[in-house]
Amino acid sequence: MSKDEIPRVDLERRGKIALLTLASPPVNALSIALRTALMARLGEALADRAISALVVTGAGSAFVAGADIREFGKPYPPGAPTTADLAQALEAAPKPVVAAINGVAAGGGLELALGCHARLAAPKARIGLPEVKLGIVPGAGGTQRLPRLIGVEPALDLILSGELVRAEKALALGIVDAVESGDLIAAAVAMAEHLAAEGKPLRRTSALEDRLAAARAKPDLFAAYRKDWTRRARGQEAPQAAIEAVEAGLSLSFTDAMARERAIFERRLTSPQSKALRHVFFAEREVAKVPDIAPSVATIPIRRAGVVGCGTMGGGIAMNFANAGIPVSVLETDRAILEKGLAIVAKNYAATVAKGRLSQAEMEKRLALIEGTVSYDDLAQSDIVVEAVFEEMGAKKKVFEALDRVVKPGAILATNTSTLDIDAIAAFTKRPESVIGTHFFSPANVMRLMENVRGKRSAPEVVATVMALSKTLGKIGVLSGVCDGFIGNRMLYAYWRQANALLLEGALPQDVDQAIYAFGFPMGPFATNDLTGLDISWRVRQRHIAEGKGPFPEYAVADALVARQRLGQKTGAGFYKYAAGDRTPILDPEVEELIRDASAAAGIQRRKIAPEEIVERCLYPLVNEGAKILDEGIAARAGDIDIVWINGYGFPAYRGGPMFYAGQIGLATVLRVMEALHARFGDLLKPAPLLVRLAREGKGFGDLS
């Protein structure tokens, strides 16, 4: 059944059992058409006297992935059944209804199953209520039926995390009655026949009360959850709304509680946060599609990998390959440095085992896939080699010339450079078509983003391969063209430059960091710079000055700190100071004095700067740079930029990423601020032509695609 065929529900009779199969690829999302078809088939089966019970299942690899998110906010034909109506109709059915959960049962999909009288799952099923990840709450009874079925706290934990759990976990929680590793449909039909033959009163989830009692005995339960999730999901509104809905179920009748849930759901559906998170949902799926490379372009099989350099990044990159089951050789200049790097890898794995997130056996299996070497010959049979040596062209040249000599033809030669010119690096080889950037983010074994940088000569199959490899490594691959700093760091330069300028004008590092933290980033620019190292960004500035892009008077304070060897956490002091072994920033009067002196030296009268101005001053130039990047075709879509910033730089997902956020603010507002900054600071902050055009046309960046 192709994606374009009308969603339908097949009704097949298996003896006295009606098997209803929802079919709407790829994930049987509950569109209006599919819901309408299900309600009709349900009516048909219930009216058929020859039918004694029903089984509901999904076609393909999914059961039901929930409501069709594409239909949110769209006009609703009167009389069309909601998912809540369907769950109610299933539950109220006079004949037993068994859910055969063959794959993903998410959101409305699980809510349908909760309406059924029994649930069987296949071992590969994944089950949950991820609505909070879309900034909404379950809106078809999930906040009412799940607590009644499994208890209030397990239900809250599942709803608030939004995680999909495996079938065995769903069985342990009591969501499903059994996990069937054989023929799921046959087992479900047998269960339906048994329930019909048994003739006992059907187990209707909404009527279950006993599990609510435990929560009623804990008056502080919800306050505790609110407090905990205010911290764990800082800035996010949906988790608090979900707690409100579940709590309502303890004091209201089921019917009234369902109405309350619906009201909360509707409120969330129109919220800016939900619109932002829905944008992120689809943007995350769009990034994988490279407009000018057909999905049919063959990818190069990656069965063996190599990494050059086992420093901060090299070790983490090697772990990604091992985590994906791909053997990897890591090359260093000498054994001592190699052993030191591999020891850090082993320590990182041991830490994950200690947290119970990895078994000892699995750690050993992964470590066994990582082999250290000091000889390029051990990289010769790699299908891809990722270089992660010092950020200097000389070091890159040496490595790529060696790789070009040794590594087999057809292999991919990738660089993890964060700023250098991929085309220049490719030119060090006789096979520039095999060279590409694969920019991981630190810590490379943790951060989800992989900025893949396509050189002028990178072959389509090389691009297609690294984009697919990102998924294999559990990363989100975003494609960037070649420019200084690619998508992420180029925008970071614009943001950090203004953050540093604010220090001279009157702000202190903690003022800027607090404003950006309150906006939703996990950390502000100065605490982040202390984490990544002031010497790294200083070296990039020196290169820019050498390339004639300077001077950078805004960085007077940062340069003075580097001169005093205050490089950040790694030297115990940077913009803040740090106690030994502690990453908590401590205010340092020496820095404040240095900042006041720098203002005086620049002849700047310091002034009080409000948090709102700090946010505008830091983020609007970042958006402006994003508009230039889009205009130059460095990024294919505004959504790609949003995904880079959310997954690589901590931009809060519930704000949708910088480009989406600018659209919510209104590009006219962003333009107005940029024009004022341009008037004060000159062409450095000249509004991007694309920003000017879209603002004038009353459009957003989302209107481009």
User: Exposure string (b/e) for 152-163, b if CB count within 10 Å is 16 or more?
Assistant: bbbbbebbbbbe
* Cβ-based neighbour number of residue 289 at 10 Å: 13
- Residue 573 CA to residue 204 CA, distance in Å, equals 62
The interface partner of residue 383, options being ligand T1G, ligand NAD, none and the CB cut-off 5 to 8 Å by kind, is none
The residues that touch ligand T1G, with contacts defined as CB under 6 A, are: 26-27, 29, 65-70, 83, 104, 106-108, 111, 130-131, 134, 138-140, 142, 282, 285
Mark 243-272 with x for binding to ligand NAD (rule: CB under 6 A) and - for no binding: ------------------------------
Cis ω before 460 (30° cut-off from 0): no
288 vs 367, beta carbon nearer ligand T1G: 288
Listing DSSP states for 276-337 in one string gives HHHHHHHHHHHTT--TTS-TTSPPPP---EEEE--SHHHHHHHHHHHHTT--EEEE-SSHHH
Of 105, 140, 280, 313, the residue at the interface with ligand NAD (CB under 6 A) is: 313
Binders in 407-436 for ligand NAD, by CB under 6 A: 416-418
The interface partner of residue 399, options being ligand T1G, ligand NAD, none and the CB cut-off 5 to 8 Å by kind, is ligand NAD
526 exposure class (CB count in 10 Å sphere: 0-12, 13-18, 19+): buried
Binders in 519-538 for ligand NAD, by CB under 6 A: 532
- Residue 556 CA to residue 541 CA, distance in Å, equals 12
The interface partner of residue 331, options being ligand T1G, ligand NAD, none and the CB cut-off 5 to 8 Å by kind, is ligand NAD
Query: What H or E segment, with its residue span, contains residue 235?
Result: none
Of 310, 413, 674, 694, the residue at the interface with ligand NAD (CB under 6 A) is: 310
Strand, helix or coil for residue 521: coil
Q: Residue 240 interacts with ligand NAD (CB under 6 A)? A: no
Of 352, 442, 472, 571, the residue at the interface with ligand NAD (CB under 6 A) is: 442
Q: Residue 139 interacts with ligand NAD (CB under 6 A)? A: no
Q: What is the dihedral of CA 657, 663, 666, 672, to 10 degrees?
A: 60
Of the candidates 616, 670, 613, 672, the residue with the CA atom closest to the CA atom of residue 638 = 670
CB of 138 to ligand T1G, least distance (A): 4
Cis ω before 509 (30° cut-off from 0): no
Give me the helices (H) in 649-682, please: 658-665, 667-681
Assign residue 33 a region (left: φ > 0; alpha: ψ between -120 and 50; beta: otherwise): alpha
- Residue 535 CA to residue 599 CA, distance in Å, equals 22
17 vs 132, beta carbon nearer ligand T1G: 132
30 vs 694, beta carbon nearer ligand T1G: 30
Q: Residue 332 interacts with ligand NAD (CB under 6 A)? A: yes
The interface partner of residue 104, options being ligand T1G, ligand NAD, none and the CB cut-off 5 to 8 Å by kind, is ligand T1G
CB of 645 to ligand NAD, least distance (A): 15
Residue whose Cβ sits closest to ligand NAD? 311
Of the candidates 5, 12, 131, 198, the residue annotated as catalytic is: 131
460 exposure class (CB count in 10 Å sphere: 0-12, 13-18, 19+): middle
CB of 483 to ligand NAD, least distance (A): 16
Active site residue 131: yes
Active site residue 247: no
Residue whose Cβ sits closest to ligand T1G? 107
65 vs 609, beta carbon nearer ligand T1G: 65
Q: Residue 348 interacts with ligand NAD (CB under 6 A)? A: no
Non-local CB neighbours of 16 within 8 Å, separated by 6+ positions: 50, 51, 52, 53, 193, 196
Of the candidates 5, 44, 71, 111, the residue annotated as catalytic is: 111
Residues in binding contact with ligand NAD, number by CB under 6 A:
26
Return the structure tokens found at 218. Answer: 């804990």
As annotated, the active-site residues are 111, 131
Q: Applying CB under 6 A, which residues contact ligand NAD?
A: 308-314, 331-333, 337, 388-391, 395, 398-399, 416-418, 439-442, 532
